[in-house]
Amino acid sequence: MSRMCISFLMCLLIAGSVHAQEDANMKDTFFVIHSRKSVRNFTDAPVSKIDLDKIVRAGMAAPSAVNMQPWSFVVVTDRKKLDELAAGLPYAKMLFKAGAAIIVCTEPEKAYDQNKDLAVIDASLAGENILLAIEALGLGGVWTAAYPYEDRMKHARTVLRIPQKVIPLNVIPLGVPTGVDKPKDKYKKEKIHWEKW
Residues 23 and 77 placed together within one structural domain of the fold: no
Same domain, 73 and 105: yes
Nearest to 175 by CA among 74, 48, 83: 48
Q: pLDDT, tens digit, for every residue of 151-169? A: 999 999 999 999 999 999 9
* Domain-located, residue 130: yes
Q: Indicate which CATH number applies to the domain containing 162.
A: 3.40.109.10
Whether 20 shows a pLDDT value over 70: the answer reads: no
Q: How many domains does the chain have?
A: 2
pLDDT band at residue 128 under the 50/70/90 scheme: very high
pLDDT tens, position by position, 78-88: 999 999 999 99
- pTM confidence score: 0.87
∠ CA 152-104-39, rounded to 5°: 80
In angstroms and rounded to an integer, the radius of gyration of the C-alpha atoms of the chain is: 21
